[in-house]
């Protein structure tokens, strides 16, 4: 199948990127199945295995695939085509957070129809920031509630509309052997499924005074109480600019609701009500329970956007936003494209634009590549 001019152009750009840049691979990559999608096909080339980093680099710089993946699972025979004969040894714990799946963003997508009747959904860029907050909540829960080492957790912007969070595990780790039913329990816990209200309302029995005092959940408490408090700390600081409340919630001391409300007023209740609404962590259950999932390779390019699958420092999640910095083509000359569809005003990596079918647009390379990869424009 011969590629059209735009796909040839994009493949050329992807090849130039892979010639100069290396993807990130875990130390056990030789135990994983790899797969890629070429530009001239809707199917994937699967059951690939590599012994050296140079072999991976050679494939990428030669084929310059549209999408590139490796498995969360480790196998005895990763290149065996029969899944039942691969010899499953264990799998990383993986989570996927998509902005368009968040309740707050359900109505914030624009659906367009491109060539061949294919539907393309554009997500409000503000929703990517909400997804980043979900990723931060997830990281916090993995570390402070499930006891997972920070060094084992990697977070990446997916290259499109969300984030991937991976807990890298050795094959002899108990978590690596967890089957779908056990991984679903983890998801249910993260989503706070069937949560009882009293779980979030701790109290202490003051025997001397023969009464029970309601106390405030603090960050050092275990489980969902600690999560609620840590979310409240973030909201107090980021949304309300109140560091005093945040500092108090971070202490190990037992604090009564009465004391906190007498000191700070109704703002405390408002902050905790906001935190309760954010308590559930919205991860894609089907991704987490799949013990043979293919996931995007860090620093590979996403074929529907031209953006990098970029590792993100957890400390920078609360300031994350879509920008041309996520594109490897920032230094490329401007590119002239022709619109293939009419759109309402949309934001593309921070650039506001409205496309009119048949009109030419000379755009910075990151935005031009994004629109071509989405199928909304073609190269002139």
Catalytic annotation, residues:
96, 98, 284
CA 322 vs CA 20, 132, 311: distances in Å: 23, 11, 14
Using alpha carbons only, how large is the chain's radius of gyration in Å?
Answer: 24
Say if CB 244 and CB 256 are below 8 A apart: no
Residue listed under structure tokens 């629109």: 371
* Helix residue ranges, H only, the chain: 5-20, 53-63, 125-144, 180-190, 223-238, 243-250, 257-264, 267-277, 285-289, 365-373
Q: How far apart are CA 132 and CA 312, in angstroms?
A: 10
- H-helix or E-strand containing 316? none
Say if CB 98 and CB 299 are below 8 A apart: no
CA 111 vs CA 120, 122, 303, 329, 349: distances in Å: 6, 6, 19, 26, 18
Q: How far apart are CA 353 and CA 284, in angstroms?
A: 31
Q: How far apart are CA 337 and CA 57, in angstroms?
A: 30
CA torsion sign for 267, 269, 274, 279 is: positive
Say if CB 104 and CB 123 are below 8 A apart: no
Strand partners of residue 119: 113
Q: How far apart are CA 286 and CA 172, in angstroms?
A: 24
CA-based nearest residue to 93, from 212, 184, 188, 189: 184
Residues ≥6 apart with Cβ < 8 Å to 107: none
């Amino acid at each position: 199948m011969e590629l059209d001019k735009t796909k040839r152009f994009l493949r050329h750009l992807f090849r130039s990127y892979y010639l100069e840049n290396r993807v990130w691979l875990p130390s056990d990559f030789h135990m994983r199945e790899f797969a890629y999608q070429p530009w001239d096909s809707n199917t994937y080339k699967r059951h690939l295995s590599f012994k050296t980093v140079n072999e991976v680099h050679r494939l990428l710089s030669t084929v310059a695939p549209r999408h590139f993946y490796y498995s969360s699972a480790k196998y005895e025979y990763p290149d065996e085509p029969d899944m039942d004969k691969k010899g499953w040894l264990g799998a990383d714990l993986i989570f996927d957070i998509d902005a368009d799946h968040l309740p707050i963003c359900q109505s914030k997508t624009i659906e367009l129809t491109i060539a061949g009747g294919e539907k393309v959904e554009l997500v409000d860029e503000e929703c990517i920031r909400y997804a980043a907050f979900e990723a931060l909540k997830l990281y916090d829960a993995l570390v402070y509630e499930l006891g997972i080492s920070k060094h084992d957790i990697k977070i990446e912007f997916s290259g499109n509309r969300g984030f991937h969070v991976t807990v890298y595990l050795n094959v002899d780790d108990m978590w690596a052997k967890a089957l779908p039913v056990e991984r679903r329990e983890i998801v249910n816990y993260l989503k706070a499924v069937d949560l009882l209200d009293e779980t979030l309302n701790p109290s202490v029995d003051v025997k001397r005074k023969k009464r029970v005092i309601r106390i405030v959940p603090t960050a050092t408490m275990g489980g969902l109480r600690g999560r609620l408090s840590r979310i409240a700390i973030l909201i107090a600081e980021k949304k309300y600019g109140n560091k005093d409340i945040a500092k108090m919630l971070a202490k190990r001391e037992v604090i009564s609701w009465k004391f906190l409300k007498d000191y700070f007023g109704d703002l405390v209740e408002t902050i905790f009500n906001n935190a309760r609404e954010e308590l559930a962590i919205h991860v894609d259950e089907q991704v987490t329970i799949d013990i043979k999932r293919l996931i995007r390779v860090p620093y590979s390019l996403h074929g529907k956007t031209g953006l990098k699958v970029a590792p993100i420092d957890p400390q920078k999640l609360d300031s994350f936003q879509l920008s041309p910095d996520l594109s490897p083509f920032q230094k490329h000359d401007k590119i002239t494209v022709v619109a293939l569809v009419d759109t309402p005003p949309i934001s593309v990596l921070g650039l506001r634009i409205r496309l009119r079918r048949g009109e030419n647009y000379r755009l910075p390379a990151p935005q031009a590549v994004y629109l071509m990869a989405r199928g909304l424009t073609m190269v002139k």
